[in-house]
């Protein structure tokens, strides 16, 4: 039929027509979380950090499984700064207590402070951030200024001041440390949540939900928040590590956990006196702290990569 030599037609056999607008659908359905999990599963960074966090959690929950030396009993001054010996692999502290047992038992306090602070920060920060971002207006302005006030206080300086308040000074415990940290650290979480919520709140699917009759608050809970959670989760994992360090710092300064509670911060503080004679007793709790914090930060990095919306297939 074609007569024009310039008119080229590809052979139909070589360029078969596919059904218009179809996508391969032979694999299992994938939600965002399932997809992120699939990506995470194969990342060495995630596997290493997850295994380490798992081990740390088991140590924190059942310290007795890892040592049968009671950390605070049988401390004999005769052993002060003693070298490692069978049954006491890390040696002895200034007070003659077993370093290994103290490091193992100290895990509990550090992780507890980390997890509890993150939970509190999530509750305060996500609630306030979501409300500020979603409703905007004067509510946003007030909450943003409130956040800025806390933001301007450096964590340690703020904690120094707060812990001098009688109500904190007299009841030093894990909870007071958690309270102080959460009070000073929520604005960052609120900011991240606010930004993520603002990004999502104008999405078409929110308008669609509203126009089918979902209430304004319902749309926030059901559509906006779930879609704004990814950066929040990443920040939460990263902050876990930061809070554990904060607890150690506060305890080191003597304003964190009371000496009666074993924690790495307290141990590092106690090792100061012996730093010239036996560095090892400083090194072990410090190493435990570093490994823990590193694990959480690595986990946060891996989770961020997995939840990165840019890497999602459309």
Partner 1 sequence: MTSDIRIEESGSHQAKPLLEIRDLAITFKTGSGEVKAVKNAHLTIMPGETVAIVGESGSGKSTTALAAIGLLPTNGRVSGGQILLDGEDIANASEKRMIELRGNTIGMVPQDPMSNLNPVWKIGYQVKETLRANGKPNGPDDVAKVLAQAGLPDAHRRAKQYPHEFSGGMRQRALIAIGLSCQPRLLIADEPTSALDVTVQRQILDHLDTMTTELGTSVLLITHDLGLAAERADKVVVMYQGNVVEAGPSLELLRNPQHPYTQRLVASAPSLASRRIQVAKEQGIETDELLAPADAKTVAASDELLKIEDLTKVFKLRSGFGRSTDFTAVDNVSFSVKRGTTTAIVGESGSGKSTVAQMVLNLLTPTSGRIVFDGVDTSSLGRKELFKFRRRVQPIFQDPYGSLDPMYNIFRTIEEPLRTHNVGNAASREKKVRELLDQVALPQSMMQRFPNELSGGQRQRVAIARALALDPEVIICDEAVSALDVLVQAQVLNLLAELQSNLGLTYLFITHDLAVVRQIADHVCVMEKGKLVETGATDDVFESPQMDYTKALLNAIPGASLMLPPEVA
260 contributes a contact to partner 1 by CB under 8 A: no
Angle at 188 (CA atoms; ends 244, 234), nearest 5 degrees = 65
Please, which residue, 205 or 217, has the CB nearer to partner 1? 205
Work out whether 207 is an interface residue with partner 1 (CB under 8 A). Answer: yes
CB of 6 to partner 1, least distance (A): 6
Quick check: helix, strand or coil at residue 188?
A: helix
Q: Which of 6, 78, 152, 310 is close enough to bind partner 1 by CB under 8 A?
A: 6
Q: Which residues pair with 92 in a beta bridge?
A: 98
14 lies in the site for partner 1, by CB under 8 A: yes
Binding mask 167-206 for partner 1 (x = CB under 8 A): ------------------------------------xxx-
- Least distance from partner 1 to the Cβ atom of residue 303, Å: 17
Question: DSSP 3-state assignment of 98?
Answer: strand
Q: Does 10 bind partner 1 (CB under 8 A)?
A: yes
Please name the residue that has the structure tokens 């074993």: 262
Kindly tell me the burial class for residue 46, based on how many C-beta atoms sit within 10 Å of its own C-beta (0-12, 13-18, 19 or more): buried
List residues bridging with 85 in a β-sheet: 88
Spatial neighbors of 152 by CB under 8 A, at least 6 apart, are none
Number of residues that bind partner 1 (CB under 8 A): 41
Q: Is the C-alpha dihedral spanning 60, 62, 66, 69 positive or negative? A: positive
Count the neighbouring beta carbons within 10 Å of the beta carbon of residue 210: 14
> Tokens 């102080």 sit at which residue?
180
Question: Is 221 a binder of partner 1 (CB under 8 A)?
Answer: no
Residue 20 near partner 1 by CB under 8 A = yes
Of 17 and 77, the one with the shorter C-beta distance to partner 1 is 17
The minimum distance between CB 220 and partner 1, in angstroms, equals 13
Total residues belonging to the chain? 314
Q: Rule CB under 8 A: which residues touch partner 1?
A: 1-2, 4, 6-10, 12, 14-15, 17-18, 20-23, 25, 29-32, 35, 203-205, 207-214, 218, 223, 226-227, 312-314
């Amino acid at each position: 039929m074609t007569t024009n030599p310039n008119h080229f037609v590809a052979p139909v056999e070589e360029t078969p027509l596919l059904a218009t607008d179809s996508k391969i659908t032979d694999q299992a359905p994938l939600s965002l979380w399932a997809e992120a999990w699939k990506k995470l599963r194969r990342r060495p960074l995630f596997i290493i950090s997850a295994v380490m966090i798992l081990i740390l959690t088991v140590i924190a929950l059942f310290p007795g499984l890892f040592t049968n030396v009671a950390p605070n009993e049988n401390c004999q001054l005769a052993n002060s700064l003693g070298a490692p010996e069978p049954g006491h692999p890390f040696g002895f502290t200034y007070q003659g207590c077993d370093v290994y047992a103290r490091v193992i038992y100290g895990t509990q306090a550090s992780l507890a402070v980390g997890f509890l602070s993150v939970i509190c920060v999530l509750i305060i920060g996500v609630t306030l951030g979501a409300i500020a971002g979603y409703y905007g207006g004067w509510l946003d302005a007030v909450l943003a200024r409130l956040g800025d006030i806390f933001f301007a206080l450096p964590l340690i300086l703020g904690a120094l001041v707060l812990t001098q308040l009688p109500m904190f000074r007299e009841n030093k415990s894990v909870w007071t440390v958690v309270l102080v940290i959460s009070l000073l650290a929520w604005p960052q979480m609120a900011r991240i949540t606010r930004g993520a919520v603002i990004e999502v709140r104008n999405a078409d699917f929110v308008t669609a939900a509203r126009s089918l009759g979902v209430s304004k608050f319902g749309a926030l809970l059901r559509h906006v928040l779930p879609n704004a959670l990814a950066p929040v989760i990443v920040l939460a994992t990263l902050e876990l590590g930061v809070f554990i360090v904060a607890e150690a710092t506060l305890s080191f300064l003597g304003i964190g956990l009371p000496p009666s509670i074993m924690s790495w911060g307290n141990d590092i503080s106690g090792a100061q006196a012996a730093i010239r004679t036996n560095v090892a007793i400083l090194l072990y709790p410090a190493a435990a702290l570093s490994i823990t914090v590193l694990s959480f930060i690595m986990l946060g990095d891996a989770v961020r990569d997995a939840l990165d919306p840019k890497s999602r297939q459309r």
